Structure 1
Amino acid sequence: MDLEILEKRPGVIMVGSPRVGKRTLLSRLFPVEFEDDPNPSSNSPELLAYGWTINTKYYTADLSVWMAHLHDEFSIKSLPMFDKLSALVMVFDVSDLSSFTALKDWVKQTDIQKFDILLCIGNKVDLLPRHPAHAEYRRCLLKREESCGSSRSDLADYGISETEGSSLLGDEEPSPEITKSCLEWCIEHGIEYIEACASNADFDKCLSIDGDSQGVE
């Protein structure tokens, strides 16, 4: 789609360090062919643009979705569609704290309060070893095996203890320190924090924080 058309639409911009899963997240939201479909801006070769039509029960809206890698010289105010941006989505890799630090450093130098919507996505939760979603995910795998007619008496094959709690939705399992740290920072800056596993939809559905569902959906 023509960049001039996209620049006139209400916009969402997704930022984060390289390799934190921004493209994978976008591919979960709408079909994207990353090799052929993206339109790189001539003003910023690292800025990619996509058209997105949202159809809901109440309205239909044509948006532009922009994606950019964070780096030392990146300034959101210099973007040609800056005045049209309504939502900021920040993404980091929960297994790589340097990507979270990069976001925090960037926010210190950026007026993010001009955005109507502020989201911070902690992606790649499946790479966080002590995250409680692993237990829920293994339970889901076990239930799937049972529904297919397989009988597995040894729950250790799935890393599940018979005395383990029954659900992530309870409050018996404390959140990992990284989750606590991210939540505190987001609350301080008026940002909604969401955990996700964009690369594994089944694991993604097992995510929950204090009883609130997480994930891409």
Structure 2
Amino acid sequence: MRDKILVLGPPGVPKQAIVEWIVQSSPNVSGPSAEQSSTDEPSSLPEELLVVPWWMNTKYYTAQVDFWLDTVPLPTGGAASSALRDTNRGDAQADSDNNDQAIPALVHIITEFDQVGDVVDGFIYVFDPRRPDTFDALKPWAAFCQRHDISVCLALAVTVDPLTQESAGLNDVDSFGDFQSHGEVPPAEPDLEAYEDWCIENGFELVAVPELPSIHTAVAYADDGIGRVIEALQSHTWATMVKKYAPPASTTARASAGDPSASGTVGQIKPWETRRPLNAMDALGDLLDGGSSDMEQVLARLKDLRTQAEGMDMERRQEFAAKMVEVLMSRSPLDDNNSGEESD
């Protein structure tokens, strides 16, 4: 069952904090405990994988999924970029001339997840847009997402500093990247255009996450930030999705009768209930009342009625057929002839 969301990123990005936000976005609903996962986990999962269950609870449905969180190594240097491009083409072989140990480690992680990729239908990569090397580690995963036909692929550009994260009340297992420890000075505003071009070419949506608000603050849907991530995930049709509401019988009955007070929504009312078949039946009656001798018109009306009846359930179809017989019998030419004979 495809009910897993893979969340990856290099060391120092707040992957778990973001997942905490997403999980807390759904209202409380009777679902699995924090220690439970949605389904039996594959036996070949990486040892360091963190599993976080999420019980989606929207207005229209619930769905039980799991986040799989893992950290990917961060390659460095030009040789690493070359190896990443090779891996992106599907060649899971590290460059023998490259001494960066992160490359074979990255290839190994991709190979591990390839064994369970068929249950993954969501992919989230978290990176720091002020450090291009954190984005480079995403590139070999594009081929992974294509191989397993993953539906939701997001690249999250997160620019939250450690102090901001601490004040928001987020206790992530990964402390967010500190530029001072790398001897670097972060740019005032990272340029996202280069990242966006790659994402568009490789089937990812780039989502800017400029801040993580207080853990007690409601998350509103937006074009960027955590709200957009939640919206993208909830818009997908998950394999575990269960519709929450069914139309009441009284509403369906009123809708079929053309009652304007019926409050059924689109999708709750069956197609044949919105087509008002009695209109065609009345038209047939008008033709017969007028003594029409054009059998083509009568047959056309009958054919239209038959087409409309095909979309009905058995009970409704029987009622419809009885009504049609009643119309035909009440306007039968034979009855007119008999009445004429009696008058004579």
* TM-score normalised by the chain length of structure 1: 0.58
Match of 2:135 in 1: 100
- In 1, the alpha carbon distance for the partners of 2:115 and 2:143 equals 22
Residue 154 (structure 2) aligned to one of 102, 105, 119: 119
In structure 1, the partner of 2:47 is 45
- For residue 49 of structure 1, report the CA deviation from its aligned partner: 0.9
Q: Shift in Å at residue 193 of structure 1?
A: 0.7
Provide the C-alpha distance between the structure 1 equivalents of 2:9 and 2:109, rounded to a whole number of angstroms: 11
For the 8 Å contact 2:8–2:71, the answer to whether it is kept is: yes
| Deviation at residue 72 of structure 1 after TM alignment | 4.0
Look up the match of 2:202: 189
Flag the 1:28–1:74 CA change in 2: closer, same or farther, 3 A.
Answer: same
Aligned to 1:68: 70
Contact 1:11 1:64 in 2 (8 A): yes
Once the 2 structures are TM-superposed, how far is the Cα of residue 45 of structure 1 from its aligned partner?
Answer: 1.9
CA positional deviation for 1:77: 5.7
Task: Return 79-88 or 90-99, whichever deviates more.
Answer: 79-88
Instruction: Name the larger-Rg structure.
Output: 2
Residue-by-residue CA offset, 1:127-176 (whole Å, 9 max, x unaligned): 964339xxxxxxxxxxxxxxxxxxxxxxxxxxxxxxxxxxxxxxxxxxxx
Structure 2 unmatched ranges of 5 or more: 25-33, 36-40, 73-105, 162-184, 228-344
Q: Which moved more, 1:118-127 or 1:57-66?
A: 118-127
**Correspondence 1:83 to 2:147:** no
Whichever residue aligns with residue 49 of structure 2, its letter is L
Q: Is 1:215 paired with 2:208?
A: no
1:130 and 2:140 matched: no
- After superposition, the Cα gap between the structure-2 partners of 1:110 and 1:119, relative to the gap in structure 1 and judged at 3 Å, is closer
Q: Tell me the SS of whatever aligns to 1:60.
A: strand
Look up the match of 1:157.
none
Whichever residue aligns with residue 188 of structure 2, its letter is R
The offset of 1:30, in angstroms, is 2.0
Superposition pairs for residues 172-183 of structure 1, below 5 Å?
178-183=191-196
Letter in 1 for 2:194: S
Quick one: which amino acid aligns to residue 117 of structure 2? F
After superposition, the C-alpha distances for 1:22-60 in whole angstroms (9 at most, x for unaligned) are: 111112112579xxxxx9x87422211111100111110
Letter in 2 for 1:215: G
C-alpha distance in 1 between matches for 2:70 and 2:4: 13
Counting matched residue pairs gives 151
- Letter of the aligned partner of 1:23 in structure 2? Q
SS of match in other structure, 1:28: helix
Q: Alignment partner of 2:225: what SS? A: coil
Structure 2: which amino acid aligns with 1:56?
T
More helix as a share of residues:
2
Q: What are the ranges of 5 or more consecutive residues in structure 1 without an aligned counterpart?
A: 1-7, 34-38, 133-177
Q: Distance in 2 between matches of 1:110 and 1:61?
A: 22
What is the CA deviation profile of residues 9-32 of structure 1, one whole-angstrom value per residue up to 9, with x for unaligned ones? 611111111212111111211257
Q: The residue matched to 1:131 in structure 2 has which SS?
A: coil
Kept in 2: contact 1:94–1:125 (CA 8 A): no
**Higher RCO, 1 vs 2 (CA within 8 Å, ≥6 residues apart):** 1
User: Would you identify which runs of 4 or more consecutive aligned residues in structure 1 move more than 6 Å?
Assistant: none
Pair 1:60–1:108, CA change in 2 (3 A): closer
1:131 maps to amino acid: E
- Quote how far apart the aligned CAs of 1:216 are: 0.7
Name the SS of the counterpart of 1:30 in structure 2: helix
Deviation of the 1:184 alpha carbon = 0.5
Superposition TM-score, scaled by structure 2 size: 0.38
- Secondary structure at 2:118's aligned position in 1? helix
Relative to its length, the structure with more strand (as a share) is 1
Cα distance between partner residues in 2 of 1:105 and 1:78? 13
Secondary structure of the structure 2 residue equivalent to 1:75 = helix
